Structure 1
């Protein structure tokens, strides 16, 4: 087997300080990043270097700024030379690895019949250039064989070199399509023995592997800055060792690369600058210099040892998952791990992971035909680690892939009960800490949030980051309303931070679970405008996320004929028991009941909604910090200060979407809010029978036991139903499983109106946060104009999620929303409107 790393490669015992690297990498706060093989996260220093030069150009002009930065620009060549083990004048700075490849290969002046021996690891751009030369100029491109370990077979290479003169040997040190590490030193030694130039594509190895051109025996090398070097996009490098450098002259010279000596004479630059163009992005090159300085400070050998160990761990953990196949060949050994999930296109796996804030890439075969086609791979998922990757990132990726491969969409049991039908919430091993006393809403210098992140789960905001940060808006709580507000605010260009005390998608609040109900039927016309706005907002969200979020099933909502506030709404009509039976054969109304039929009612995919909103928020620039409890907050002269375990955050406005924890954030509202424990359950039912999708849609029946609601499970697991009545509950208290008495009450209600239902197969509990009038709280916190609240959704607020998010963004931007007056928190104050 070919050795993946040369014996000359140093493997130190030093341990990198991952926390320190995360602290200087702002992107760590936006998710779990595994795309260093595409474009790694830069450090704050690198970004500052770019911005500082752009600012100098704006103040002094581009030429002047370049003169001021001359020493720093020269240092970029020195840093690159040290990294590659060459002289500074053997280095050229280019715009990309492909630009370097094309210039140096064109300088070889390949002629008809010249043989190019290319490894199967070659990148698509390099292969296309060679194939075009083969077609247009008669160059012969011979693709080398791989050995059993998946790397270039050195014996086959030697036979090819002995078969006749060759003009070039080329390989990618690490391909784009796997974690393979080519035996570059072995290839270089064979090429040198036969007097053939060796061109190494180090695009994927610079920054993760030690790359010494002399030790590897390569004469020409190309690389890019944006990958493991952590430099800005638009930076690349090319190195040509002497004596070959003196013999190569680019076909197309530039004023940077040559001197025009007389009317018809010129001479190339004496060094590798002959491959450069005079026009260059100096700011980006200075960013490259900053990134190279960082790498030298860490030590390339230490980085390699760390990344190789991380990737080996990830490779083993992914390989142990059912339905997941790691596609790296045996000669893998770098920071890249590739895999596929049975039954899913790699692009779809990438999309689902992105919705979970796990960011990586999918590589199609067209980016590496010579490598992937022989292995029967159409596309692979590529995860790549870096110095800022921690154990929490690995856990997030592995858990998300396990969830996707198992066919589920959430971290807990699947639930789809309407109106908020969340998943079961396991009781904690011990009671959470008690709630400290706090102040009133009108004067909240410190509003404690008692919930703590799970033990051993560090906040997404890395430790060591500066303690004070400033934003336009901080959103606390990232359930359906918080995530909707975060997206809307970010898309309006505001610097927005979202804080979630638990992990995203947790099952401890009111927004988790598989599904929710959506309907137009409401008892009062006050709701009509918001209902209409909500339907439009859902359509817009589906379009923006390219995801189907609502399935229209129609709905029946039944109550006694003498109910004082019957449901009604646009497009809805009253039906009697007989017609209701024709619409939903599986539903039997009690005597004396009528129903309202809403043909536009349906079922919301709750999990995909949360993921879509968070993904759109991040795409628009919002920052997200989960596992970040808010210790307290208080108003200040020009905004608010929010205190977290990671430090203070200052913002112009605060948006509180804390669900069952709203009273902990706003103690003055506690008398007006009731958190209620609700029981939901699955009942056995045939999917093709009257309680399946053909015989039933979303429904509710107002019974003496409480409002019974439900619909057929979207996953074929029977009927889901729940009662909206239950005991008052502290959100910090343990939540035991549904008791026999609770299930008996629910089963009795189901039996009255759904006679075909079988026994309970699963049960779960969730929390409602209720107001006396069952209307929400959406608006300014009384007495604190810097803060807004959206909460107390009383079991029916999910259906308005995108609309309420937009409303909160309007209010932050000081746009009038008189239509929300009936939901204003001010109505709960003494003398407030009801």
Structure 2
């Protein structure tokens, strides 16, 4: 059978669509980082959560006893996977823990030789170097041959002298190399030297057989190609090693205290375990092993190897991309570098586009990358939940030009010069602008690469994203810091995948990715996933759908979120990925990150207008003029003041929220309640966010009267409060307590409830994020990253459906007689694109 036919057979044997559907993360991003931490399945997730719930009801010891048989089965599953006996398996917290316990058990002495492959993992190498420093162990790094793997001849020569251990990484962290472990094992066995195989990057994606390898010790993790939870690992020891190996730190799990001075070690590998362990994670590992064995490692290996080979071939055909895997590469990993770009920056750019890869620096593999002269590489790794769409997305993104280096802002091709009613031209003092010279503005605080107007969620996200790329940013806001006159204040917002049209799916996916990256940068949790329900009368037409979402009836909804009570005439869309955003913490985190990255934030400074100035922009403020190469407008309710085209398109409405107490608070908090909305005939949309932190449940109507921007939002009125209470208690019977807090805010609404994100057609140096129509907060980091991309010359064709022109915005400044004519979209009327991609009123929040 040909290779092509073989691959077709593998694809038909694997139900990749089903595997993707059973993997929640596969719908949120192009996850190509299985060699770091693969995406677990729903079954693994449910297994872990179910045991944690059991512990909460019974107690940890009692739950462990109840799950004892299933936990014992995990040892047999590991043994089946690697061709061993269950008695020779220890379950530990990680591959590194397994490595340390095995090495320490050998009780190595000064002068003992360890022969280590150049593919050794950083933590293993560091341990060996420390043993050399503190115990006098001799560490010899084995040479490599032309294939990149262990030079078997040199190994055979090295084994002519006494050695205590040979260690090799089956697949390293730094490349797709597959070491010849069976041959290494045969040579080691012939010399009577035990072999330690680090199978961390191979188990789950390549066949691993301890007998075929002649391995005395094998260490591995659960979180990579096994798709198990983090915090799981395994250790195999050949029974022949028990006589010479002894745990350095025995524990009650693996030993029995027999008298004042004596204890016995238990037989087998359990002597290397400790009493304290996460039984939930071990059961999750068991679920992952069951799934892997059901598919078959040979089938998995053929599929991921074929998919990686396709990626490797595609990368080789891209200009400016160099595959750096050694000749003995294979399996599901591919490493590469991009000309003119540090691998870490390549990964940041890819993550902003919803592609999850990782950069491996030489400090994680000095014996490999350092000796090959590679400071770092980008590593992609595929699994059974990946398909051609993931490969195509990566290749498409890498085919785009390398973004400018930090501190540079590229300039779009300028339109033909035309007279502009603006201040008289003078010598250019802008650092990056090109084209006609802007007027002279003196003072170093009067120049910026980018001026961002507005400090709400989108303004802060854009400012931080830009500054993190080395761009000099001045951010202006007409109000004092953390004011409550706009749309970004308050403690919580919801996030969801349920949207009316697939055209939103990519941006929703980027939103989830963006929040995850913000959490990592801020080192704090900002999004709590609890699942949500979005209800409507059964007789009305459906509007919501989304990856992983499903339609349920009222009875099913009651089982999912019992705190929400729907009538029998209701149906709901269940979105298991819906959650709660800690909006207040997010705003604080973005402000702090922006300041740390160098954002020059100026609160209480109103922008009174702007004009194109050559290829740059002159920004007028009540504190004087600023010059910039780009202007980013995120002015919320005040957007139409700066983009007059929008004056007839936008309306600013008053929205109120109240928090309600309860005599049964558990019914209004997760897991009994999540984010929700209910279309109430004759009333409109009621939405809510469950109790979160110190806050009680929050509810609001998704509509309100036109607001007056010349005055701060007034307090919630008794009539507004009573109307909300009446409807909320109809669907939340547990909301029987008093109103504990209330807040008023503003929605800036546009035709079709859509957004405008992108460059103004008449002046591409001006970017806009406007009219988020009550559902924009969840997209904050994603829109901020998009604006940063556009400002630095990175194309974002995925945002074409939100182009300002689709909302009838040309961006002509008053008094600019030679600017382009109006966009064909009639002001005040949604364009065809707007109609197709609009967000229905009933599901904006």
TM-score (ref. length: structure 1): 0.58
Residue equivalent to 2:470: none
- 2:104 is the alignment partner of 1:106: yes
Residue equivalent to 2:834: none
- 2:357 is the alignment partner of 1:360: yes
Question: For 2:275, what is the secondary structure of its paired residue?
Answer: coil
Contact 1:680 1:765 in 2 (8 A): no
Question: For 2:326, what is the secondary structure of its paired residue?
Answer: coil
Paired residues, number: 573
Q: In structure 1, what is the Cα distance between the partners aligned to 2:545 and 2:412?
A: 22
Residue equivalent to 1:381: 378
Please state how far the C-alpha of 1:602 moved relative to its aligned partner: 4.8
Please state how far the C-alpha of 1:767 moved relative to its aligned partner: 6.4
User: In 2 relative to 1, CA 215–552 (structure 1 residues): closer, same or farther, beyond 3 Å?
Assistant: same
Residue equivalent to 2:217: 220
Please state how far the C-alpha of 1:18 moved relative to its aligned partner: 1.2
Q: In structure 2, what is the Cα distance between the partners aligned to 1:131 and 1:282?
A: 33
- 2:224 is the alignment partner of 1:142: no
Question: For 2:159, what is the secondary structure of its paired residue?
Answer: helix
Residue equivalent to 1:194: 191
User: In 2 relative to 1, CA 48–452 (structure 1 residues): closer, same or farther, beyond 3 Å?
Assistant: closer
Q: In structure 2, what is the Cα distance between the partners aligned to 1:399 and 1:30?
A: 18
> Deviations along 1:656-679, whole A, 9 cap, x unmatched?
9xx99965579xxxxxx999x985
Contact 2:335 2:380 in 1 (8 A): yes
Q: In structure 1, what is the Cα distance between the partners aligned to 2:529 and 2:824?
A: 34
Residue equivalent to 2:691: none
User: In 2 relative to 1, CA 82–586 (structure 1 residues): closer, same or farther, beyond 3 Å?
Assistant: closer
Tell which structure's C-alpha radius of gyration is larger: 1
1:571-590 equivalent positions in 2, closer than 5 A? none
Please state how far the C-alpha of 1:310 moved relative to its aligned partner: 0.9
Question: For 2:20, what is the secondary structure of its paired residue?
Answer: helix
1:397-408 equivalent positions in 2, closer than 5 A? 397-403=394-400, 405=402
Please state how far the C-alpha of 1:351 moved relative to its aligned partner: 1.4
Residue equivalent to 1:84: 82
Please state how far the C-alpha of 1:336 moved relative to its aligned partner: 1.2
User: In 2 relative to 1, CA 374–260 (structure 1 residues): closer, same or farther, beyond 3 Å?
Assistant: same
Please state how far the C-alpha of 1:493 moved relative to its aligned partner: 4.9
Please state how far the C-alpha of 1:223 moved relative to its aligned partner: 0.4
Of residues 268, 280, 285, the one that matches 1:283 is 280
User: In 2 relative to 1, CA 394–380 (structure 1 residues): closer, same or farther, beyond 3 Å?
Assistant: same
Question: For 1:405, what is the secondary structure of its paired residue?
Answer: coil
Residue equivalent to 1:513: none
Q: In structure 2, what is the Cα distance between the partners aligned to 1:374 and 1:53?
A: 46
Q: In structure 1, what is the Cα distance between the partners aligned to 2:23 and 2:224?
A: 15
Of residues 95, 114, 138, the one that matches 1:116 is 114
User: In 2 relative to 1, CA 14–155 (structure 1 residues): closer, same or farther, beyond 3 Å?
Assistant: farther
Residue equivalent to 2:736: none
Please state how far the C-alpha of 1:52 moved relative to its aligned partner: 1.0
1:246-395 equivalent positions in 2, closer than 5 A? 246-395=243-392
Contact 2:347 2:378 in 1 (8 A): yes
Residue equivalent to 2:540: none
Q: In structure 2, what is the Cα distance between the partners aligned to 1:124 and 1:90?
A: 26
Contact 1:327 1:338 in 2 (8 A): yes
User: In 2 relative to 1, CA 192–492 (structure 1 residues): closer, same or farther, beyond 3 Å?
Assistant: closer
Please state how far the C-alpha of 1:159 moved relative to its aligned partner: 1.2
Residue equivalent to 1:749: 818
Q: In structure 2, what is the Cα distance between the partners aligned to 1:397 and 1:190?
A: 41
Mind listing any 5+ residue stretches in structure 1 that lack a counterpart? Answer: 1-10, 421-447, 462-473, 504-535, 554-568, 610-631, 642-650, 667-672, 684-696, 699-712, 718-727, 751-759, 773-780, 789-811, 813-834
Residue equivalent to 2:551: none
Contact 2:756 2:807 in 1 (8 A): no
Please state how far the C-alpha of 1:544 moved relative to its aligned partner: 3.8
Residue equivalent to 1:157: 155
> Deviations along 1:421-450, whole A, 9 cap, x unmatched?
xxxxxxxxxxxxxxxxxxxxxxxxxxx999
> Deviations along 1:564-623, whole A, 9 cap, x unmatched?
xxxxx9567899xxxx9xx9699999xxxx9999525756576999xxxxxxxxxxxxxx
1:300-699 equivalent positions in 2, closer than 5 A? 300-403=297-400, 405=402, 491=526, 493=528, 541=590, 543-544=592-593, 598-600=624-626, 602=628, 663=751, 679-680=761-762
TM-score (ref. length: structure 2): 0.57
Question: For 1:256, what is the secondary structure of its paired residue?
Answer: coil
Q: In structure 2, what is the Cα distance between the partners aligned to 1:682 and 1:185?
A: 61
Residue equivalent to 1:689: none
Residue equivalent to 1:49: 47
Question: For 2:331, what is the secondary structure of its paired residue?
Answer: coil
Contact 2:175 2:325 in 1 (8 A): yes
Contact 1:449 1:661 in 2 (8 A): no
